[in-house]
């Protein structure tokens, strides 16, 4: 009897140990038609980049299946076929099923097995609509069919349409992964929701609170929390600056606030030398440009600035251009032949300057006069040219 009890205890212990050591996995499987011999990738979208987890060469029947360890808090993944993607989120041992065709992989797919995945699809399609609209505007701009003002207005309208859709998922029925996905969609290299916009900052705060309550140990929670705090600080500073008529907040060069009428900037140039806006603008009419070198419209925009610089540089015009570029290689390769001052903000779209200068879109252009006061927020390069011709 004692031997039987001892054997039973040993078996129970082994079962417990086996259960504890068993890894919980998620699975995504399905079928992609018209994709014979094409490679399908499973990728994870981490805070520090995109990582390939697995891949498969699709057989004639198009069937596939991937299995990976399930995360304890929401993480984001995507299926990639050539340059098309199907995004989804995983927060437990789930089994998702996807059916799609190779030609319209990113738009006509069906996904089941999780409410989160189906809602993320709705957001994904809304984001694709915005990207299509803005890509069309960029093409028109590059072909000189519309002005930079038309481009910026179109981008603003398209972003507003997306936000109206996304905020329903953030405020009305907030599911952590769905709200997060809606919040961090991008057009090109730009976040559609800006953490430094007064209205958008509320959306960041809501999602941060959801993650803090449900997943306090998740790296995404810490990232959201820090972003929300920075957002609140910048929005408050922006309001204070507006009330003080453009006096700089103490976080950025408060010692300059009584001498200049703008928030001073100090960032590294091509040679990693720190360059202040105030040093460039002192006693000169200056164009302050905020842009990114990793966009489709960069070449035409810089060509337009070159025209202004060639015309007015000998009359005293200066240009101080801030590139919101996380990728230093793209930025360096683009600015190395530009004759004016170029600096890079490695924080990219998360830069606090977005809030301090109330940038709703890029490119954005300001004119600073000789007295160190922002004279004009320019709507187009044509408007800048007309303004400068009257004064230089």
pLDDT of residue 149: 80
Cα dihedral: 151, 154, 159, 162 (round 10): -140
> Regarding beta strands 63-69 and 75-81, do their DSSP bridges make them parallel or antiparallel, or are they unpaired?
unpaired
pLDDT number for residue 9: 46
* Domain annotation for the chain: domains and CATH numbers: 25-113 (2.60.40.1120), 149-235 (no CATH), 266-390 (3.40.30.10)
Report the pLDDT value the prediction gives residue 294, as an integer from 0 to 100: 84
Q: Stretch 314-342: mean pLDDT, rounded?
A: 93
What do you get for the CA distance between the two ends of the chain, in Å?
105
pLDDT at 101: 96
Find out whether 370 and 261 touch, Cβ atoms under 8 Å.
no
| Spatial distance between the Cα atoms of 355 and 197, rounded to a whole number of angstroms | 6
Least confident of 85-99, 196-210, 256-270, 327-341: 256-270
d(CA 206, CA 130): 23
pLDDT(21) > 50: no
Average pLDDT, the chain: 86
More confident residue, 362 or 16: 362
According to the model, what pLDDT value does residue 19 have?
Answer: 40
Q: Rounded to whole angstroms, how far apart are CA atoms 159 and 164?
A: 9
| Lowest mean pLDDT segment, chosen from 2-16, 188-202, 218-232, 280-294 | 2-16
pLDDT of 345 > 80? The answer is: yes
Predicted structure pTM score: 0.74
In this structure, of 26-40, 215-229, 314-328, the range with the lowest mean pLDDT score is 215-229
Strand order, beta sheet including 25-33: 63-69, 25-33, 95-101, 110-112
Instruction: Please give the average per-residue pLDDT across 359-373, as a whole number.
Output: 89
The two beta strands, 25-33 and 190-191, are unpaired
Q: Looking at the predicted structure, is the pLDDT value of residue 379 above 70?
A: yes
Q: What is the pLDDT of residue 237?
A: 66
Compute the half-sphere exposure of residue 304: CA atoms within 13 Å on the CB side of its CA.
20
Q: Residue 71 pLDDT > 50, yes or no?
A: yes
Residue range 67-73: mean pLDDT, rounded: 95
Residue 7 main-chain phi, psi, to 5 deg: -65, -40
Quickly state the pLDDT bin for 16 (edges 50, 70, 90): very low
pLDDT recorded at residue 116: 92
Kindly state the average pLDDT of the residues 70-88. 96
What's the pLDDT at 240? Answer: 63
Helix (H, G, I), strand (E, B) or coil at 7: helix
Window from 19-23, 99-103, 219-223, 313-317 with minimum mean pLDDT? 19-23
> Is the pLDDT assigned to residue 350 strictly greater than 90?
no
Residue 253: band (very low, low, confident or very high) from pLDDT cuts 50, 70, 90? very low
> Does the CA dihedral 256-261-263-266 come out positive or negative?
negative
Reported confidence tier of residue 255, pLDDT bands at 50, 70, 90? very low
Q: Are 151 and 183 in contact (CB under 8 A)?
A: no
pLDDT tens, position by position, 130-176: 999 999 998 998 888 988 888 888 988 999 999 999 999 999 877 99
pLDDT class for 245, splitting at 50, 70, 90?
Answer: very low
């Amino acid at each position: 009897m004692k031997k039987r009890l001892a054997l039973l205890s040993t078996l129970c212990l082994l079962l417990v140990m086996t259960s504890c050591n068993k890894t919980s996995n998620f699975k995504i499987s399905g079928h992609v038609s018209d994709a014979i011999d094409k490679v399908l990738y499973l990728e994870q979208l981490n805070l520090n980049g995109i990582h390939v987890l697995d891949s498969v060469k699709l057989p004639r029947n198009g069937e596939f299946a991937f299995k990976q360890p399930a995360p304890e808090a929401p993480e984001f993944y995507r299926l990639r076929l050539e340059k098309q993607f199907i995004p989804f989120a995983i927060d437990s041992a789930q089994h998702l099923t996807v059916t799609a065709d190779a030609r319209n992989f990113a738009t006509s797919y069906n996904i089941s097995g999780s409410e989160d995945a189906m809602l993320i699809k709705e957001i994904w399609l809304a984001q694709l609509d915005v990207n299509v609209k803005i890509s069309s505007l960029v093409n028109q701009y590059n072909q000189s069919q519309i002005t930079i003002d038309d481009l910026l207005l179109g981008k603003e309208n398209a972003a507003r349409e997306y936000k109206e859709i996304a905020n329903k998922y953030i405020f009305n029925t907030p599911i952590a992964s769905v709200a997060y996905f809606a919040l961090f969609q991008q057009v090109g290299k730009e976040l559609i929701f800006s953490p430094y916009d007064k209205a958008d900052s509320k959306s960041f705060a809501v999602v941060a609170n959801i993650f803090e309550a449900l997943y306090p140990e998740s790296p995404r929670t810490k990232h959201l929390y820090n972003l929300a705090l920075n957002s609140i600080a910048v929005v408050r500073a922006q309001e204070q600056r507006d009330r003080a008529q453009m006096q700089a907040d103490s976080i950025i060069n408060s010692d300059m606030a009584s001498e200049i009428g703008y928030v001073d900037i100090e960032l590294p140039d091509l040679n990693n030398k720190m360059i202040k806006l105030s040093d460039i603008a002192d006693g000169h009419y200056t164009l302050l440009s905020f842009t990114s070198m990793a966009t489709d419209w960069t070449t035409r925009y810089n060509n337009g600035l070159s025209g202004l610089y060639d015309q007015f540089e000998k009359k005293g015009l200066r240009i101080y251009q801030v590139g919101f570029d996380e990728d230093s290689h793209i930025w360096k390769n683009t600015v190395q032949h530009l004759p004016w001052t170029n600096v890079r903000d490695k924080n990219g779209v998360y830069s606090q300057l977005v809030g301090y200068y109330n940038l709703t879109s890029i490119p954005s252009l300001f004119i600073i006069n000789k007295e160190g006061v922002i004279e004009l927020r320019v709507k187009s390069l044509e408007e800048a040219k007309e303004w400068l011709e009257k004064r230089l």
